[in-house]
Amino acid sequence: MDTIFIHDLRVETRVGVYAWEQDLAQTLRIDAELGLASSRAFETGALADAVDYAAVVAHVKAFASDHPHRLLERFAEALAQSILASFRAASVSLRVAKLGALPGVREIGVSIERTAPKTAR
């Protein structure tokens, strides 16, 4: 399957189970791969046949700023479902990491893969 990818996207959101985490925006690092439902963009070279990278980035940033979650796992799941519903993607893989969440650890996070229902493609 052909994919597009966005690596090292930094977004601000509120995520965490502790009270201080729910009140303070944190930076998340997101890597996303979208499985393309069609290879038409490779044939035509037309943006109308492609997934617009800039639109995906804007969507992820807006989602992060408007959707706080207690668990990083829930944030990742909700973001994956939002991407699948908003773009012509057959699948999405996300790696979502909190930066510096624990002393001595650069990043902690989750990695998920989700597939769009066949009727949504």
Helices (H), the chain: 19-23, 40-44, 53-66, 72-86
Q: Is 98 a catalytic residue?
A: yes
Q: Which of these is catalytic: 98, 109, 119, 120?
A: 98
Residue 81 to residues 62, 65, 100, 106, 118: CA-CA distances in angstroms?
14, 16, 26, 27, 14
Supply the residues annotated as catalytic.
Answer: 98
